[in-house]
Structure 1
């Protein structure tokens, strides 16, 4: 698979933009675009030039989800090339920069940061990060897609596999015969994708992500092409490893509540991750919240506002995630 590696200093390591080309038909497509900053623009233009293309040649852009490190340049590329931009219907309003959708995310984030017990100085630091992080380009005019929809782009057939959890509209795309897939941030080769803080719109984020991991494991791809870093040669094993990671994390949180008593998401986050800065001020307590919320739905903890109390510990035969 032809990928261009793009700079990324803020998130899970270098991003990937995948090039799909059918030179005979004159068709060129990108899967994801990278952050809208000059070094990444240069990475992308140089990568295309090395292959004999330029931005104006791009016919289609397929976005795995709305996050700026995947969709940031989509609007600029569309303006220059006239490309069609495809993204799941849940994320399309954010890619389009719809004011009500953007405001709803910001309002929900403020509500949750308060509920999670994030101190005001940390919230100020996070606001400063979002205000100063110039990673989003102009909005695009996206074409919404849904689970199961098939796209014919760049000489390939891509089948949409909705994979929510990390983001409400995150999608994987099965390639041609379905033995391989672009997986965005649903599976990453090094880190585990953040749930809870990465997209505050997602209700029951851990449960949704577990469903996604199980769905991807069942599909048993030969290889997965992630949004960051290198290809994953055994995607089923990677999905199962991430599932086990979340089982262990849930068990750790049960132990923390048993040992230290009732706590909010910020306190649990401090036990799990230590001091946080930048984007991790929302990612850390968001991940803790995703687990606490899951434990509450499963009957292991109770919640009073943003404070969680252990109701009972799981027995030896119970799987809590």
Structure 2
């Protein structure tokens, strides 16, 4: 297996694609985005392995985001490769117009309820236009999670890890006496993957993501190969670090409500992250919303219209804490 680093049009740092070309099949995990420069990089890296795009037999996708799936349609058109992705993400990857329109409508409704200013909404939709229906979309073969793919004698076991995206999946495999995993954007070495904004279709995104992280920590993988940047040598520690990060963020969300009173997600986001630009306009209030929604379901905060407030019992509990960290109860 070879890791290929590709530039992207997002902010998380270079994308990773992974290629298996050491046997009768050529298989890719993720493809990078749809930019011509990305395709040129991918072709050049494959050429170092004496492989062309037309040689690709299968593409396994970790999730639907365009920086991971952008070239899948072009590669399939050139090679006839089959494209596999979780059933929850398959309609978006295949360019199903009804699925995209439903997601856009959910975004419009949520952005308004979050308190996002109309000018910011318009700029954000312009920014996200790279994910529209103008590119080449592949025919996809959906999977559900729990399957095993066999690639040149190597078993890749599918583990569904919803949260960042509805259909996000890991591919775990054994290497001698080690178990490693392709983690997509479920586990990254630097940034904490966004929840709430990255896929507005996900119900209870923070709870789902924390459970995915708990499962990663329990699996005790020996190494993770992420969707961005360098391999993670201690995936359990990194998963636990991100869980701790969200406990600290929950405390900060509650502290904003304690200090400012009733707030909508946009106001909480501004207090947490300041003025936002570019794709962060989606991710900031989305993450604030994910936390507020979770805290509401846990009866920690109350929702009044589009605003959230902390009841007296929560205020007393918050005041009594000795550390800036809130148990998420997951």
Task: State the match for 1:102 in structure 2.
Answer: 100
Give the distance between the partners of 2:111 and 2:205, measured in 1 at CA. 16
CA deviation vs aligned residue, 1:247-276 (integer Å, no higher than 9, x gap): 000001111100110100000111111111
Query: Using a 3 Å threshold, how does the CA distance of structure 1 residues 100 and 4 change in structure 2: closer, same or farther?
Result: same
Task: State how 1:1-321 maps to structure 2 within 5 Å.
Answer: 1-23=1-23, 26-131=24-129, 137-176=135-174, 179-311=179-311, 312-313=314-315, 314=317, 316=321, 319-321=327-329
Give the distance between the partners of 2:281 and 2:39, measured in 1 at CA. 27
Give the distance between the partners of 1:136 and 1:263, measured in 2 at CA. 38
Give the distance between the partners of 2:267 and 2:277, measured in 1 at CA. 15
Give the distance between the partners of 1:157 and 1:100, measured in 2 at CA. 35
TM-score by length of 2: 0.93
Would you say the 8 A contact 2:97–2:133 is kept in 1?
Answer: no
Give the distance between the partners of 1:145 and 1:134, measured in 2 at CA. 24
**Cα deviation, residue 39, structure 1:** 0.9
Give the distance between the partners of 1:35 and 1:132, measured in 2 at CA. 9
Give the distance between the partners of 2:129 and 2:209, measured in 1 at CA. 29
**Cα deviation, residue 21, structure 1:** 2.1
Q: Cα RMSD (Å) of the superposition? A: 1.7
**Cα deviation, residue 307, structure 1:** 0.5
Query: Using a 3 Å threshold, how does the CA distance of structure 1 residues 207 and 80 change in structure 2: closer, same or farther?
Result: same
Residue correspondences, number:
319
Query: Using a 3 Å threshold, how does the CA distance of structure 1 residues 132 and 15 change in structure 2: closer, same or farther?
Result: closer
Would you say the 8 A contact 1:20–1:155 is kept in 2?
Answer: no
Give the distance between the partners of 2:33 and 2:298, measured in 1 at CA. 38
Would you say the 8 A contact 1:276–1:284 is kept in 2?
Answer: yes
**Cα deviation, residue 135, structure 1:** 10
TM-score by length of 1: 0.96
Query: Using a 3 Å threshold, how does the CA distance of structure 1 residues 183 and 98 change in structure 2: closer, same or farther?
Result: same
**Once structures 1 and 2 are overlaid, which stretch shifts more, 51-60 or 8-17?**
8-17
**Cα deviation, residue 132, structure 1:** 6.0
**Cα deviation, residue 245, structure 1:** 0.2
Query: Using a 3 Å threshold, how does the CA distance of structure 1 residues 100 and 107 change in structure 2: closer, same or farther?
Result: same
Give the distance between the partners of 1:136 and 1:294, measured in 2 at CA. 35
Would you say the 8 A contact 1:32–1:62 is kept in 2?
Answer: yes
Would you say the 8 A contact 2:31–2:72 is kept in 1?
Answer: yes
**Cα deviation, residue 133, structure 1:** 6.9
Q: For structure 2, which runs of at least 5 residues remain unmatched after alignment? A: none
Give the distance between the partners of 1:245 and 1:310, measured in 2 at CA. 21
Would you say the 8 A contact 1:188–1:227 is kept in 2?
Answer: yes
